[in-house]
Amino acid sequence: MAADAPVTPITPPSEAAVDKSTPAVFLIHGLGGTQYDLGSMHKRLKNAGFVTHSLTLPGHGTTPEDLVHVTAEQWMEAVTAKYHEVAAQHDNFHIMGMCMGALLATELAKRQKHTRGKLIALAPPIYIDGWATAWYTPARHLMYYVPGVPARMRVEEEDPFGIKNEQLRAIVKAKFARGENFHYRWVPLACIRQVDRLRRWVMTDLKNMASETLVIHAREDELTSLASANYLVEQIGGAKARMVVLENSYHMICVDNDREQVARNVLEFFGASSAASLGMAVDDPKMSADALQAFAQSLRAALEAGDFSGVFARGASDMGWFQPGSNRASGIYRGNKGLQAMLPWAGGIKFTAFGQPVFNAGIAVLPATLTAAGLMSQGVLAFAVRSGRLLDARWFPDDVALEDAHFGAPPAPAGPSEAERAFEAAGIAVKTLAKPPGNDELLALYALYKQATVGDATGERPGIMDVTGRAKFDAWAQRKGMAREAAMAGYAALVEKLRAG
């Protein structure tokens, strides 16, 4: 049940400022955790057009001792109050929870007879029977009645911390060792008793569930077996509930190997596109599934080694690397010039803790962690591939602020060069020429403009029947090797010549 820094309730805008037709998702975190339990789902849902709402459950975001006297009723009261707050702002909204949050989400949807959206239960612990469960775990029910024990006894977070990915698990261990307050290191036995009470509530009257339901569960969940997911689906009924089983994760499915598969299933269940949530268009890769997978594996190997030159070598001439944020590394780096601009800050950066890749036509998405001196930033890498060449590579960190703090503020813009200013002015002046240019001059203008803005000609030469397209391509290709500055200067000089006469 790993999680991140304490998260305060996300305060939505006033009702007057909210378009009630905009769909929303109410997300509920797990026991001892925060919204980090849900990985990058907040960001992916927002990118897909949803408004996200969440809360910090009673007893959370402070110290484990604050859980001693919290009851299951208080948790239900908190999520119910938030539910009505969200309902007042949106005509349609979905409910989603992780671990104990999945239990709360299920009970909430059931009690409210929720029909204004769908329900997703992520790794719901209906049973505490996972493969790492100690043989004496059932004895906790006796300990509940021993005076003073429930408040004093600590239930520690232990290896494997709900994470199968060994590199990612090492990152979580390091966070605990540094004392980072990203998740409670232990919880009192008293609150486990409240979870047991909540489990019993959830297990009743499930056939009255009104919400269409998706349950996502890992086959190797060390805390709760697939029996939990099966129980929910069977009791709600196959007409309203279905299940997705993950094959390469433990309990923390939103941050483990299969987290991209989780994101894709969540978005598709809510009627959104996974690729769209990354701002990328899906296109035919014009290569086999095996070739695409092998290509993605080669990119992974290059990034594990910190070999950005190797990544760009696999790209088209105008391939771009998209680095988000507001820091000195942020920007879009295209072609060889972009690579040279990246190298000063990218030295020492590597990607590690890769998860299971997900493919959607020509888009390959790999969960990963960006590492540098003192920085471990989780997120996903997205690659657009076509005909064996990389078109775009984009990094989507879960927490951009971490990278902003690490890389520092962006440098002040230097402003356009003299050649760039002259080029821009020529682009305006060419539209006001007194006399239209001849064919040869039009071809020259086209070729110089393309060489200045794109670089060397790319793509296939148009066929013989496309006379105009073929002539334009040939004129551009003749400028191969011309530097950008020279092409800009040539364009500006030709426009000036045409203006003069």
State how far the Cα of 400 lies from the Cα of 78, in Å rounded to an integer: 29
Max avg pLDDT among 54-58, 435-439, 452-456: 54-58
pLDDT class of 74 with cuts at 50, 70, 90: very high
How much of the chain, in percent, has pLDDT values that exceed 90? 68
Could you tell me which of 101, 96, 95 has the C-alpha nearest to residue 30? 101
Buried b (16+ CB within 10 A) or exposed e, 235-267: bbeeebbebbebebbbbbbbbbbbbbbbbbbbb
Residue 253 has pLDDT above 50, yes or no: yes
Q: How far is CA 104 from the centre of its chain?
A: 24
Q: What is the mean pLDDT of residues 32-40?
A: 82
Q: What is the mean pLDDT of residues 6-23?
A: 55
pLDDT score of 17: 55
Torsion sign, CA atoms 259, 265, 271, 276: positive
pLDDT score of 134: 81
**Are the beta carbons of 50 and 95 closer than 8 angstroms?**
no
Give the H or E element holding residue 245. Answer: strand 241-246
Residue 1 has pLDDT above 70, yes or no: no
Q: How far is CA 388 from the centre of its chain?
A: 25
Give helix then strand counts, H and E, for the chain. Answer: 17, 15
Residue 12 has pLDDT above 50, yes or no: no
26-40, 139-153, 227-241, 300-314: the lowest-pLDDT one: 26-40
Token digits for 172? 């979580």
Instruction: Give per-residue pLDDT as tens, 189-205.
Output: 999 999 999 999 999 99
Higher model confidence: residue 175 or residue 258? 258
Residue that the structure tokens 């908190």 belong to: 78
Instruction: Give per-residue pLDDT as tens, 75-105.
Output: 999 999 999 999 999 999 999 999 999 999 9
pLDDT class of 4 with cuts at 50, 70, 90: very low
pLDDT score of 18: 63
pLDDT class of 278 with cuts at 50, 70, 90: confident
Token digits for 366? 């790999």
pLDDT class of 135 with cuts at 50, 70, 90: confident
Other CB atoms within 10 A of residue 282 CB: 14
Q: What is the mean pLDDT of residues 396-416?
A: 85
State whether residue 485 is helix, strand or coil: helix
pLDDT class of 130 with cuts at 50, 70, 90: very high
pLDDT score of 317: 87
Residue 57 has pLDDT above 80, yes or no: yes
Residue 11 has pLDDT above 50, yes or no: no
pLDDT class of 10 with cuts at 50, 70, 90: very low
Q: What is the mean pLDDT of residues 231-243?
A: 95
Peptide bond just before 160 cis, omega within 30 deg:
yes
Instruction: Give per-residue pLDDT as tens, 296-334.
Output: 999 999 999 999 999 999 999 889 999 999 999 999 999
Computed over every residue of the chain, the mean pLDDT equals: 90
In terms of Cβ atoms closer than 10 Å to its own Cβ (0-12, 13-18, 19+), residue 14 is exposed
Q: How far is CA 389 from the centre of its chain?
A: 24
Instruction: Return the bridge partners of 97, or none.
Output: 28, 121
210-219, 260-269, 281-290: the lowest-pLDDT one: 281-290
SS (H, E, C) 443-456: HHHHHHHHHHHCCC
Token digits for 399? 């927490």
Residue 14 has pLDDT above 80, yes or no: no
Query: Which pTM value belongs to this model?
Result: 0.73
pLDDT class of 459 with cuts at 50, 70, 90: confident
pLDDT score of 262: 95
